[in-house]
Chains A and B, each alone.
Chain A
C-alpha cells in the first residue's frame, strides 16, 4: 500500500512537470540576449557620438544668436535621426534574437511558432506596444527626457508578463529593467547611460547566464 502512495505521488509530480514544460516556450536562446545587448551598445555609442557632434542639439538653449526657425529645424531633423537609429537598433536586435532562437528551437526539435511561443509573444507584446505608444506620445509632446525611463520600465513589465510562458529567470531581468526605468525618472542627464546599462549590459549578462544554464 505504501508503494502505491509513492507511485501516485511520483505520477502527480510527473504530470505537473509535463504541464509546466509543455506550456512554456523554452527555446529562447541565451545568444539572443547577448546579441541584443551588443546591438544596444553599438546603437548607444552612435547616439552618444551624435549628441556630442551636433551642438545645435546639445546646446540649443544657449545659442540665442541663431534664428529660431533654424534651431527648430535642426532639432526636428536630429530627433528624426534618433528615432530612425532606435528603430534600426530594435530591428537588428529582433532579427538576431529570432535567428538564434530559431536555431535553438531547431536543435530542440520544436517549432518556433508553437502554442506556447505564441502565448509568450502575445504576453510580451501587450506591455511593449503600450510602452511604444507612451514613448511616441512623450516624444510628440517634446518630452525626450522620458523616453529612456519609459523604454526601460515598459520593457521590464513586458518581460515580467511573458515570464509565465518561458524560463522564469526572465522575470528577474524584467524587475531589474523596471527598477532602472524608475531610477532613470529621477536622475536627469543619465538617460542614455541607464538605457545602455539596461538594454546593453543587462542583456549581455542575462544572455551569458541563460546560455550557461540552458544552452551549453
Chain B
C-alpha cells in the first residue's frame, strides 16, 4: 500500500484531536479545548468533520446537570491516522 498524506489531517487542530484520542480511551470537549487551545466553535467544526468521516465517535452524556460530550477514536480513524504517520515518516526518510 502506498502511504499518502491524508487531506483531512492538513489541519493542526484535527491532527491534535486524533493524537489525543490515540493515547486516551475517551477525551471530553473541555479537555480537548484546553489541550489544543482553540475556541468552542472552531473545535466543534473540526470534530464534526472527523465525525462525518467516521474517524471519531461522539458520546453525549451528563455530569450532574452539565453536558459532558466525550469522543473516542474509531478503527477507521485509527488506521487512517497510522497511515498518515507512516506517510510523514516516509517523507522524512526518503529525503534523508
Residues of A within 8 A of B91 (CB): 4-5, 8
Chain B residue at minimal CB-CB distance from A109: B34
Are B34's CB and A23's CB within 8 A?
A: no
A12 contacts across to B, CB distance below 8 A: 85, 88-89, 92
CB-CB nearest in chain A for B35: A22
The size of the chain A interface, using a CB distance under 8 A, is: 22
Q: Chain B nearest CB: distance from A37 CB in Å?
A: 29
CB contacts (< 8 Å) of B92 on chain A: these are 5, 8-9, 12
Q: Are A22 and B27 in contact (CB under 8 A)?
A: yes
Are the CB atoms of A15 and B35 closer together than 8 Å? no
Number of interface residues of B (CB under 8 A): 25
The listed residue with most B CB atoms (<10 A of its CB), out of A2, A22, A110, A111, is A22
Interface, chain B (partner A; CB < 8 A)? 12, 15-16, 19-20, 22-28, 30-31, 33-36, 63, 85, 88-89, 91-92, 95
Interface residues of A (CB under 8 A from B): 1-2, 4-5, 8-9, 11-12, 14-15, 18-19, 21-23, 108-111, 114-116
